[in-house]
């Protein structure tokens, strides 16, 4: 039984297979085979979502599956049923459960404590693994490779940043530099994991809490919204702390060929200026569309295992 609750649940082969398959789905268009014909996919979101919920719903349908959607007040979890019992019951009716809780992923692990239904983390408080797969799919689509790419991430060390750190550092020669506001960096466990992987795979990872001496020659500059979905900041002065970390056109002076990535939703004038988000370097809205292609790859992997090409260059991390 294959679950995707963390990027760490993917072997190196699985990670590359899902990313390459997402790029293939994107290249092939919206038709093709229906490998999930006869399957039923549950879509449970206790928090708001535009892209991820639509991506998995549309992706499942395009692969031939039927879907059952649940809102935040629909499950008996609200009346005290245990997560274990909920997972056991749903596994008798569903083949895959895609869930967003924005809470601790322990609940998803409880749902996964059975051998009949795959569980996919569509975002928890600490990690957003399907976003990282979308990001890598977009990079592969743009550059034809992931190995050796240089990515500068600017903004909060949130669940998008943690997943990206876990994923990108597994590609030899890749470089990921995080510039996060003081007090809003990556959690220690994710930072240590990224550093360990960088040493093992021959990639590079670094995090700083200022905007001085930014690296030049980046392939991609990435940011996320300052107010992470489903969360609030206790510090009333947080906007002042975040202000120096706005992404503006000035960043392209030293990285003129860089593409711009954003997981959306975006707030123009906060984390990014409008001329960057809507400018010629921006891949943000194509990146959003790739959420569906990546979701299709994840669902297929859950039900059928690694499928398809070795990627654009035939290599695996």
Ordered structural domains, the chain, with CATH: 7-127+291-302 (3.40.50.1370), 129-287 (3.40.50.1370)
Q: Within 10 A of 209 (CB to CB), how many other CB atoms are there? A: 15
Give the integer Cα–Cα distance in Å for 2 and 303: 8
The conformation of residue 172, written as its DSSP 8-state character, comes to T
Mapped onto helix, strand or coil, the DSSP state of residue 161 is helix
The conformation of residue 214, written as its DSSP 8-state character, comes to P
Rg value, the chain, Cα? 19
Give the integer Cα–Cα distance in Å for 315 and 317: 7
Write out pLDDT tens, residues 175-196.
999 999 999 999 999 999 999 9
- Mean pLDDT (the chain) is 93
Mapped onto helix, strand or coil, the DSSP state of residue 30 is coil
Q: What is the pLDDT of residue 308?
A: 61
Q: What is the pLDDT of residue 77?
A: 85
Closest by CA to 130, choosing from 142, 140, 121, is 121
With beta carbons less than 8 A apart as the criterion, state whether 252 and 239 touch.
no
Mapped onto helix, strand or coil, the DSSP state of residue 290 is helix
Write out pLDDT tens, residues 254-281.
999 999 999 999 999 999 999 999 999 9
Residue 142 has pLDDT above 90, yes or no: yes
């Amino acid at each position: 039984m294959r679950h995707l609750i963390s990027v760490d649940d993917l072997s190196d082969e699985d990670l590359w297979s899902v990313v390459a398959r997402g790029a293939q789905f994107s290249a092939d268009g919206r038709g093709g085979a229906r490998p999930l014909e006869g399957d039923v996919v549950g879509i449970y979101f206790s928090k708001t979502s535009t892209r991820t919920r639509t991506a998995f719903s549309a992706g499942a349908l395009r692969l031939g599956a039927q879907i059952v959607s649940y809102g935040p007040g629909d499950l008996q979890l609200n009346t005290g049923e245990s997560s274990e019992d909920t997972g056991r019951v749903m596994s008798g009716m569903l083949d895959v459960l895609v869930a967003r809780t924005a809470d601790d992923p322990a609940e998803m692990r409880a749902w996964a404590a059975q051998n009949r239904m795959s569980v996919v983390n569509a975002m928890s408080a600490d990690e957003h693994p399907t976003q990282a797969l979308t990001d890598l799919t977009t990079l592969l689509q743009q550059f034809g490779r992931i190995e050796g790419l240089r990515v500068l991430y600017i903004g909060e060390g949130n669940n998008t940043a943690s997943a990206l750190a876990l994923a990108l550092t597994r590609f030899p020669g890749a470089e990921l530099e995080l510039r996060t506001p003081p007090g809003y960096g990556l959690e220690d466990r994710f930072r240590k994991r990224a550093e360990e992987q960088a040493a093992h795979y021959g990639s590079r990872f670094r995090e700083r809490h200022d905007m001085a001496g930014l690296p030049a020659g980046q392939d991609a500059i990435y940011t996320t919204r300052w107010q992470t979905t489903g969360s609030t900041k206790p510090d009333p002065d947080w906007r002042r702390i975040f202000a120096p970390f706005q992404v503006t056109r000035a960043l392209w002076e030293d990285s003129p060929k860089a593409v711009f990535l954003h997981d959306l939703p975006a707030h123009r004038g906060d984390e990014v200026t409008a001329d960057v988000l809507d400018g010629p370097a921006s891949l943000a809205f194509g990146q959003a569309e790739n959420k569906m292609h990546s979701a299709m790859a994840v669902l297929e992997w859950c039900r059928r295992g690694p499928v398809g090409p070795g990627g654009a260059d035939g290599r695996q991390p």
